[in-house]
Chain A
Amino acid sequence: MAGADTPQPEVPEYTRRHRMAAAWKQFRRNHNAVIGACITLTLALLAILAPQLTRFHPTTFFDLSKTLLPPGSGPHILGTDTIGRDLWSRMLFGARISLTVGLVVQGISITIGTAAGLTAGYFGGWIDDFLGGVINMIYAFPSLLFAIAVMSVLGPGLYNIFLALGFIGWATVARLVRGEVLSLKTREFVEAARASGTPTLRVMFRHLLPNCLGPIVVVGTLGVANAIMSEATLSFLGLGVQPPAPSWGSMLSRGREYIWIAPWLTIIPGVAIFVAVLGLNLFGDGLRDILDPRLKE
């Protein structure tokens, strides 16, 4: 018989802290995730510190005697654009626009999408039919086409981009959460919670939601990349952020007319979009490997 003096076998304590430590270890081993996170953090820092990193105002500073200077011209690291604005500072402030669009759009999408997905999956019945119908409706259009149509109604502008892209983005999140909830709903811990009289909202937010967080984070991260790309595309088509605001997409669209004499005006914003989207995609893919083992190859 085990007396008081018998050493107890050490049971590893499976706490939140341990889980975090395990995830962190996995993250460090995942080169793609680390590279993606570094790119994303660097961009975020550049965007936040933008005013400190340049002497020139992105829109109000211009010098008509110094237009179309190539990169490396004196104080203008990346050169100047068609009316002599500093390209480096426009790129920095462009990062602010891109990241803001990405974060706000995903904020909207995740909030609405999670609420809709939880409701549809948990209650089923006509609520599910209705929400499912709306989601299918949104999926019936190619998403960018839908955004183009909505933007043509709302008119160009940053706030309208939030609305247009958020309006489409929530469907992806809702579909995902709904699927997760449908499979979680039948699991013992949820049944136990319901059987013991836990209020509905508490079951939804304390038992179901935490178990959906992994996939939501993954889809959210990839969604930020998607939103940045969509904003750039809309702005390129002239339906998004309007000049003189320094959106990478509209800068590229402007630069296109000067591609013969000043190709850097097209090359540089494109590289920026590419790097931002690539970073977030790498990071999102890495997170998927860590948080959602089922989706691993």
Chain B
Amino acid sequence: MARYLVRRLLALVPVLLGITLVTFLLVQVIPGDPLQMYLDPKGQELDAQTRAAIMAKWGLDRPIHLQYLRFLGNAVRGDLGYSYRFNRPVTITVFERIPATAMLAFSAVGLAMIIGISLGVMSAVRHRSWLDSSSMVFALAGVSTPIFWLGLMMMYLFGVVWKVLPPSGYGTWRHLVMPAVALGLSSSGVLARLTRSSMLNVIRTEYVTTARAKGLSERVVIYRHALKNALIPVVTILGVQTGALLAGAVVTETVFAWPGVGRLLVESIMQRDLPVMQGCVIIIAIVFMLSNLMVDLVYAVIDPRIRYS
């Protein structure tokens, strides 16, 4: 297991290099003059001499591959550059926003798992009943509803018409409810569908029949015996869902003015704050990568058939 972990962590290195290279190149080809924006966003052309001096000082006159190596070297030491909009290091600016996004993402995942797994189990147990079909309609509707629209509708109904929750902002748990529900519902649809089909497969297996034949109650058969195995594929999809969730967080945070990394990303694109944008993309990609790794490890723990050597 330890050797497997080391190998997996080593395998992340080329992916990380790729991620930083892609984001570095993205920023290079973005039209506009970052130097001009940094020094004086309002206007006023820089004279050629000052420009050359500054470019030499920051190494911007060197060939692009050397610039990348320098960027990479700094990134390894935790320095992702300097934001000219906030006038402070990118690393601090991005890291400050992580707790808000983490809180939103974890609440949404929790909610999605509770709703998705219970709906999936119920549908499988009552296969082809009205409960089954209605929860599958709900799941499909969840997948097909744009998160931003769901968020806006909730904001309108609960925040404006009925005034039961604050329409947007950050601070108390009351602020968290709507963004978490909006973000969680879409993933819960995917989870419900997957849990259902996985559960249906497991219920047909012989060990479940044996458990029933032993005279165990249906509750024990379903929750103690069947569910454990049925959840294995569900865990694998959680890795993919993290990606959807992170992307969804970008949208949800924008709708609800939630001060997370996603909103920072959209703002920095709008404001052409390229170093911050770069930082956000790198951080989100790393989180996505690590959560996929974690899902693989959890997979090994819950499924003893899988042994990593």
B285 touches A140 (CB 8 A): yes
Flag if A266 contacts B250 (CB, 8 Å). Answer: no
Q: Please state if B148 and A149 are interface contacts (CB–CB under 8 Å).
A: no
Contact B146 A145 (CB under 8 A): no
Q: Does B289 contact A (CB under 8 A)?
A: yes
The answer to whether the Cβ of B208 comes within 8 Å of any Cβ in the partner chain is no
- A142 and B284 within 8 A (CB): yes
A238 / chain B contacts, CB cutoff of 8 Å: 270
Tally A-B pairs: CB < 8 A.
117
Please tell me if the beta carbons of B15 and A140 are within 8 angstroms of each other in the complex.
yes
Please report the total number of A residues contacting B with Cβ < 8 Å: 40
B197: Cβ under 8 A from any A Cβ: yes
Q: Which of B222-257 contact A (CB under 8 A)?
A: 242-244, 246-248, 250-251, 254
Main secondary structure of the interface of B (DSSP, over half): helix
Which of chain A's residues has its CB closest to B15's CB? A140
Q: Complex formed: what's the CA distance from A274 to B148 in Å? A: 11
Residue of A nearest to B22 (CB): A137
B29 close to A273 (CB less than 8 A):
no
Closest to A142 in B: B243
Q: A123 at interface (Cβ–Cβ under 8 A)?
A: no
Taking a contact as CB atoms under 8 Å apart, the answer to whether A270 and B146 are in contact is: yes
The digit string for A137-156, where 1 denotes a CB below 8 A from any CB of B, is 10011111100111011010
Alpha-carbon distance between A27 and B265 when the two chains are bound, in angstroms:
44
Docked Cα-Cα span, A269 to B145, in Å, equals 12
Is A136's CB within 8 Å of the partner chain B?
A: yes
18 A–B pairs (Cβ distance < 8 Å), ordered by A: A136-B15, A140-B289, A141-B19, A142-B242, A142-B243, A142-B244, A142-B288, A152-B26, A233-B147, A236-B148, A249-B146, A252-B148, A252-B149, A259-B156, A270-B146, A270-B153, A273-B146, A277-B144
| Residues of chain A at the chain B interface (Cβ within 8 Å) | 136-137, 140-145, 148-150, 152-153, 155, 225, 229, 232-233, 236-239, 249, 252, 256, 259-260, 263, 266-267, 269-270, 273-274, 277-278, 281-282, 285, 297
